[in-house]
Amino acid sequence: MNDIAVRVDGVSKSFRMYHERNQTIKAAIMRGRTSVHEDFWALNDVSFDVPVGSTFGLIGSNGSGKSTLLKCLANIYFPNKGTITHFGKMAAMLEVGSGFHSELSGRDNIFLNGSILGMSRKQIAAKFDEIVDFSGVEQFIDQPVKNYSSGMYVRLGFAIAINVDPDILVVDEVLAVGDAEFQAKCFQKFRDFKVEGKTVILVSHDTSTVRSLCDQAAWINKGSLMAVGEAAPTIQAYIDSVKGPSA
């Protein structure tokens, strides 16, 4: 067995910064070009390994490239250079409730959203009660989701995503949703994941969350990897850099 869950190897990702964007056929034909752009490197040669069974935090300031890396990990963006290898089934939670149809009931949406996240009908049926239970919307499960409060909506979405049952779970800062009770439930779920030997990759700029949950961390700044390894020293290095060494 391999003890690496995800290998990020020399990943670089660039975006086009458009000075002029004329996405019309007229522009394409008349001027022989649709845009003028230069490349912006959001990620620059980032490499690290995520060990199996760890809770791995990705930290960095706004615009540091951590969300880009997250999207690369989730197969939504494809790096220009380098490779990302997953060892095991991966599920990403970048937004909860993606693909909900507001006119359909909570029940229908569980099946719809579950299949978008890659579950089969059988798997969803088996997990159905657990999902409903976790979300705490039993009473309203046959109501259209447009009548849900925003908290219920998010909780249902999160409950589905967490029950995809992946080997590797990639999570964006969606934890800032729901009330304190629900957040505690989520954190407990992550700890359960860890106990089961599953890997969680968490992206956040909230260092206290990362500190309490993660045992490994990577700090990204302006697209480059600054530090990776044990959570505590990595987070400390990040905090020091933000506050300045004197603080």
Asked if 10 interacts with another protein (CB under 8 A), we say: no
Q: Which of 17, 30, 36, 116 binds another protein (CB under 8 A)?
A: 116
Asked if 199 and 2 touch (Cβ cutoff 8 Å), the reply is no
Specify the DSSP element, H or E, that contains 55: strand 55-59
Compute the distance between CA of residue 90 and CA of residue 191 in angstroms, rounded to an integer.
18
CB count in 10 Å sphere of residue 95:
12
> Minimum distance between the CB of residue 229 and another protein, rounded to whole angstroms?
28
Asked if 38 interacts with another protein (CB under 8 A), we say: no
Asked if 103 interacts with another protein (CB under 8 A), we say: yes
CB count in 10 Å sphere of residue 76:
11
Compute the distance between CA of residue 81 and CA of residue 45 in angstroms, rounded to an integer.
8
Q: Which of 4, 7, 9, 34 binds another protein (CB under 8 A)?
A: 34
Residues 121-140 within binding reach of another protein (CB under 8 A) = 121
Asked if 118 interacts with another protein (CB under 8 A), we say: yes
Asked if 78 interacts with another protein (CB under 8 A), we say: yes
Q: How large is the C-alpha radius of gyration of the chain?
A: 20
Q: Which residues bind another protein (CB under 8 A)?
A: 15, 23-26, 28, 34, 71, 74-78, 92, 94-95, 98-99, 101, 103-104, 108, 111-112, 115-118, 120-121
